[in-house]
Structure formats: structure tokens, C-alpha cells
Amino acid sequence: MDLQILIAGCIQNNQRDQRTLYEKYYGYCLKTVFRYIYHYDKAVDVVNDGFVKVFRNFEKFQFRDIQNLEMVLMGWMRMIMINTAIDQLRKNNFIPEIGDISESTWAYEDKSQSSDQILLYKELIKEIKKLPPSYRTVFNLYVVEGLTHQEIANLLGVSVGTSKSNLSKARVILQRIIKNNDQQVADVCNM
């Protein structure tokens, strides 16, 4: 089905078109939310709340370039899902949800990389998951989502300085972990 027609149907509250869009982008949205909400049931609730917002606000969705329509739509939905996840975190005072995160949430997409690089990536993601919630959230928004510190500050309701500080602290923690891991590997090799 043509995406433009699908969007027009969603704007007109056509339930068949809404269901089609929901099914088509559900996995993408769930993967986005999982970066912030680690409990599966809560993440599903956030995604569903996010889709309600998508459908309520579709008349505000604007695009100019039909060739990049899907990319623009996915970016727009991604921001709605992130905002909805952050609202949920705020409601819980940024207390992390306990739960297992599917590895596919952080799947490494570049198949041209060596198995060593993929392994290092997975180890880094495992450590990112352990960061305190405020550091992890800023790290995700800045590094993974590509937001600026001003955008993060506006989104989280903090100062730009707090955003920069949380990112800096997250990087220091991750660098410390990587150094410790490198040292452990060197110690094993020297035995």
C-alpha cells in the first residue's frame, strides 16, 4: 500500500489504515522504546500510548519530499515514542524498570564488521545498560538518537549543563569499564 494513502487514511481515523501502520512500525517503535524502558510489559504500554499520540497528531505531520516520506515518518514517530518513554520515566522519577532487554533491541546492523568488532559492540551495549538512568538516558539521546544538548535539556526539563554533565559522566564510567576490561585481558595474556 502506498504510504501517502495510508497516512491520509490515518488522518481520517480509518481504523484499517491505523492498524496497518501500527503493525508495520510496531517493531521499530518497540525497539526505540526499549532503549529507555527495560520492562517488556511497560515498554509495550509506552508504545501503545505513543501510537495513540501518533494517531491524534497525524494532521500535524508534515512532509515535503515524497521520496523520503518513510524516513521522515519514522523520525517523527521515533521522537513521539522517545517523548512518551521519557514521560513514563519522569512519572517514576527516572527509576529504572527492571527487566531483560532483548539483544535485538541493540542489534548491530552493519554486517561488514568483523566478529571482534561486533563482540566489542555487544560488550559496550551491556555496559551502557548498567549506567544510572539519568546518564543512560542522556547518553542514548545524544549518542544513539543524535539530539543536541539543547534538545535533550528541553526534552528532559533540565539545563544544558546538566545534559552535558550527565553525558560526560556516562563517558567517564564507560571509559573506566573499558580500561578495566583491557587490563583484565592483558593480565590473562601475561599469565
Decide which of 91, 123, 147 is a domain's last residue.
91
pTM comes to: 0.68
Domain count of the fold of the chain: 2
**Residue from 15, 89, 95 nearest 55 by CA:** 15
Q: How confident is the model at residue 6 (pLDDT cuts 50, 70, 90)?
A: very high
Average pLDDT value for residue range 42-65: 92
**Residue from 46, 53, 63, 87 nearest 8 by CA:** 63
In tens, the pLDDT along 161-172 reads: 999 999 999 999
| Domain-located, residue 77 | yes
CATH at residue 36:
1.10.1740.10
Q: What Cα–Cα distance (Å) separates residue 26 from each residue in 21, 41, 80, 145?
A: 8, 14, 13, 18
| Domain-located, residue 40 | yes
Q: In this predicted structure, which of 47-56, 101-110, 178-187 has the lowest mean pLDDT? A: 101-110
How many whole angstroms separate alpha carbon 133 and alpha carbon 5? Answer: 40
**Residue from 47, 43, 24 nearest 102 by CA:** 43
Percent of the chain with pLDDT over 70: 79
How many whole angstroms separate alpha carbon 187 and alpha carbon 138? Answer: 33
How many whole angstroms separate alpha carbon 47 and alpha carbon 34? Answer: 10
In tens, the pLDDT along 97-132 reads: 444 445 554 454 555 556 666 666 677 777 887 888
Please say whether the beta carbons of 78 and 33 come within 8 A.
no
Quick check: 76 pLDDT over 60? yes
| Domain-located, residue 107 | no
Phi and psi angles of residue 158, each rounded to the nearest 5 degrees, phi first: -125, 175
Residue-range definition of the domain harbouring residue 150: 112-189
Q: In this predicted structure, which of 35-39, 82-86, 115-119, 160-164 has the lowest mean pLDDT? A: 115-119
| Domain-located, residue 44 | yes
